[in-house]
Chain A
Amino acid sequence: MDISFLLSQLIGGLSTAMLLFLVSSGLSLIFGVGKVFNFAHGSFYLLGSYLAYQFINMFTNFWVGVVCATIGAGIFGMVMEFLFLRRIYGRQDEGGFQILLTYSFILIIDDMVKFIWGSEYKTIEKPEILIDQVQIGSIFIPKYSLFILIVGLLIAISFWFILNKTETGKIVKATAIDRDMLGLLGINVPLVMTTVFGVATAMGGLSGALAAPLRTVTPGAGIEVIIDSLIVIVLGGLGNFWGALLGSIIIGEVLAFGILWVPQWASLLNFLVMVLVLIFKPEGLFPQKKGGRV
């Protein structure tokens, strides 16, 4: 095993990490701002994949398809928040009911996908300019992995910028701290919540759309993704943006190198990492100062 092979594996792991980051940061955002745990977040990833398949075939253009899929998933998320989740805010034992409500969404969305597109495998072609590989020294890197890496980083940076440097970001952060006070200041808090939900689910959808050419599109994909993002969030701490990034990178690399080391058990290595973190640092690698933990 030479060094260039390991390096290309490293970059492959990073692109997996970016896809995971798009999902888990959305999950984290919804929890951080709205105190809602969206268990159905993986289903928006799934929805993104299938919408991308649909729109790419419809417009015969990869880029238009991906953008439409992202927007579609976002709109679906906003409708879900507006019609259903909103009704249980502030109810006694809200946490449990949130999980149950979003759980019912997993069942409904996954079956809807099966109903509309059938349960057989679907594949999406990579766009033509991203098919081949780039050569840096003796390392060959697939252009598509590089593309995902760049998109992921751009989104991470722009998110950080919006949350920390703009007025909108301040409003979103204030929603997380004190909703009532923000309402008194004349901000439409329910609208903020719906928008945040829309943005987060759109990110899940984008991740699904971008992942579709790399993995086959099947109705079971949503669950696999939500499990991986849960592990990421346990590692990084829920509601923590940088924690989600670091957690994604750890899990992405564990997957990429686990496949070399123990091919059959690679997917179970994630759990091992999580259990180790929980034993030694139960509050996650980046503990929040205020949070729902003991």
Chain B
Amino acid sequence: MKRLKEYSPWFAIVIAFLLILLLPVSEHKIHLATRILIFGLYAVAFNILFGMTGLLSLGSALFYGFGAYVTGMMTKSLGGDHFVYLLLFGALCSFVIAMPLGLLCLRLTDVYFTMLTFAFGQLAWGVCIKLYNFTGGDDGIQGIPRMALLESTKSYYVFVFLVVFLSLIILWKISKSPFGLVLNGIRQNRSRITFLGLNVYKHQLFAFLISSFFTGLSGGLYSGLDGSIHPNMFFWTQSGSIILMVILGGINNFFGPLIGTIIFILLEDYIGKTTEYWPFFLGTIMLIMVILFPKGILGTISTFIKGFSSKREIGNGCHS
């Protein structure tokens, strides 16, 4: 029974995927579902750093944009048939660039770490805009081809699902491994981890690298979705939206960011259509979440259920 409960989120993901695939939904809805999957992976990868290790990065968009630009630009010049392994190459490039940045940023702690990642993210955005001849500057790059097999929206959706699902399983395994437990320990009490003879810096760096790899992967997937990439993928609001998705869902649960992503993307689709002041709503939602529900939706629900059931147990105990 315990095992079934443990695996139920995975069943829910597969069932939701099949429902969208098999039911006659519009092209727009499938596009939306694909975006949810891509940002879901981004959010879960981000949470490895934030929720588990306790490192708040405001520069995750750097790795997302980097993955997207490497995959997108190379696919455009080499042709759509190479998309699949260029996707992996983009993620690898994010991984490689995360090495020096991680070494540098992790020398600082807390707020300083956050601010340094933020500054690097903005630097990447600035470089991307200034290199007009190479990256297309403000205009971005359009018309990135896709493999003939993945031409339709539906087939791309299936492809994205497979990649994201596989990545989520890997991330899940990592989070449950001894390595993942050490990361949790670093968040809770970093000096104890040092007393245990473990190198905090090294573990943080690995977490940073893993997170960057999957963030880059999600960027690559996004470059194939619309066939277009733009410098705003590097912009700090991109990193900010991901933080909000993670906070919305709940940072202490592996699947929390996924729930947050679903709510965020649906809200964005709905509110973004009706008003141009979407950031204002974003800010207001974030304000309410931070002040009133810091545990996120999943965290709040689970404490509520726990509180309810424990109250009942106490009640039963008194009567018997």
Given A96-B56, A104-B284; A294-B108 close (CB under 8 Å): yes
Is B221 close to A, CB under 8 A? no
* Bound complex: CA A264 to CA B243 (Å): 32
* Bound complex: CA A65 to CA B39 (Å): 45
Given A96-B56, A223-B236, A267-B126; A278-B291 close (CB under 8 Å): no
Chain B residue nearest to A93 (CB atoms) is: B54
Q: Which of A110-118, A182-190, A191-199, A242-250 contacts B (4 or more CB under 8 A)?
A: A110-118
The answer to whether B283 touches A292, judged by C-beta atoms less than 8 angstroms apart, is no
Q: How far is the CB of A258 from chain B (nearest CB, A)?
A: 13
Is A10 close to B, CB under 8 A? no
The answer to whether B277 touches A278, judged by C-beta atoms less than 8 angstroms apart, is no
Given A238-B112, A264-B130; A278-B104 close (CB under 8 Å): yes
Chain A residue nearest to B120 (CB atoms) is: A271
Q: Which of B225-251 contact A (CB under 8 A)?
A: 236, 240, 243, 247
The answer to whether A101 touches B290, judged by C-beta atoms less than 8 angstroms apart, is yes
Is B147 close to A, CB under 8 A? no
Given A97-B294, A101-B291; A107-B279 close (CB under 8 Å): yes
Q: How far is the CB of A2 from chain B (nearest CB, A)?
A: 30
Interface string of A252-294 (1 = CB under 8 A from B): 0000000000001101100100110011001000000000111
Q: Of A88, A91, A292, which is within 8 A of B109 by CB?
A: A292
Interface string of A114-151 (1 = CB under 8 A from B): 11000000000000000000000000000000000000
* Bound complex: CA A274 to CA B109 (Å): 16
Is B195 close to A, CB under 8 A? no
The answer to whether B114 touches A111, judged by C-beta atoms less than 8 angstroms apart, is no
Q: Which residues of A contact B286 (CB under 8 A)?
A: 100-101, 103-104, 107
Number of A-B residue pairs with CB-CB distance less than 8 Å in the complex they form? 109
Q: Which residues of A contact B284 (CB under 8 A)?
A: 104, 108
Given A84-B291, A104-B283, A278-B107; A234-B122 close (CB under 8 Å): no
Is A165 close to B, CB under 8 A? no
Q: Which residues of A contact B110 (CB under 8 A)?
A: 95, 292
* Bound complex: CA A45 to CA B250 (Å): 33
Q: Which residues of A contact B104 (CB under 8 A)?
A: 275, 278-279
* Bound complex: CA A37 to CA B110 (Å): 10
> Please, how many residues of chain A have a CB less than 8 angstroms from a CB on the other chain?
45
Q: Which residues of A contact B290 (CB under 8 A)?
A: 88, 97, 100-101, 104
Q: Which residues of B contact A271 (CB under 8 A)?
A: 119-120, 123
Is A106 close to B, CB under 8 A? yes
* Bound complex: CA A260 to CA B116 (Å): 27
Q: Which residues of A contact B107 (CB under 8 A)?
A: 278, 282, 294
Is A230 close to B, CB under 8 A? yes
Q: How far is the CB of B100 from chain A (nearest CB, A)?
A: 10
* Bound complex: CA A104 to CA B119 (Å): 18
The answer to whether A268 touches B294, judged by C-beta atoms less than 8 angstroms apart, is no
Chain A residue nearest to B287 (CB atoms) is: A104
Interface string of A219-257 (1 = CB under 8 A from B): 000010001001101100010000000000000000000
Given A97-B294, A275-B104, A278-B104; A230-B115 close (CB under 8 Å): yes
The answer to whether A227 touches B240, judged by C-beta atoms less than 8 angstroms apart, is no
Q: Which residue, of B50, B104, B127, B279, has the highest number of chain A Cβ atoms within 10 A? A: B279
The answer to whether A107 touches B280, judged by C-beta atoms less than 8 angstroms apart, is yes
Is A105 close to B, CB under 8 A? yes
Q: How far is the CB of B299 from chain A (nearest CB, A)?
A: 13
Q: Which residues of A contact B236 (CB under 8 A)?
A: 223
Q: How far is the CB of A151 from chain B (nearest CB, A)?
A: 27
Q: Which of B268-285 contact A (CB under 8 A)?
A: 277, 279-280, 282-284
Q: Which residues of A contact B240 (CB under 8 A)?
A: 103, 107
Q: Which residues of B contact A279 (CB under 8 A)?
A: 104
Q: How far is the CB of A126 from chain B (nearest CB, A)?
A: 29
Q: Which residues of B contact A115 (CB under 8 A)?
A: 277, 280
Q: Of B115, B126, B280, B291, which is within 8 A of A234 by CB?
A: B115
Is A99 close to B, CB under 8 A? yes
Interface residues in chain B, defined as those with a beta carbon under 8 Å from any beta carbon in chain A: 50, 54, 56, 58, 104, 107-112, 114-116, 118-120, 122-123, 126-127, 130, 236, 240, 243, 247, 277, 279-280, 282-284, 286-287, 290-291, 294
Give me the 6 closest cross-chain CB pairs, A-B, nearest first: A107-B283, A111-B280, A104-B286, A108-B283, A104-B283, A104-B287
The 29 listed contacts between A and B (C-beta, < 8 Å) are A37-B115, A84-B287, A96-B50, A96-B54, A99-B111, A99-B114, A101-B291, A103-B283, A103-B286, A104-B287, A105-B283, A107-B286, A108-B280, A114-B277, A115-B277, A115-B280, A234-B115, A234-B119, A268-B123, A268-B126, A271-B119, A274-B119, A282-B108, A292-B110, A292-B111, A292-B112, A293-B109, A293-B112, A294-B109
Known: A104-B284, A227-B118. 15 other contacts (CB 8 A): A37-B115, A93-B54, A95-B111, A100-B290, A105-B287, A106-B283, A107-B283, A111-B283, A230-B115, A230-B119, A234-B115, A238-B112, A278-B104, A282-B108, A292-B112
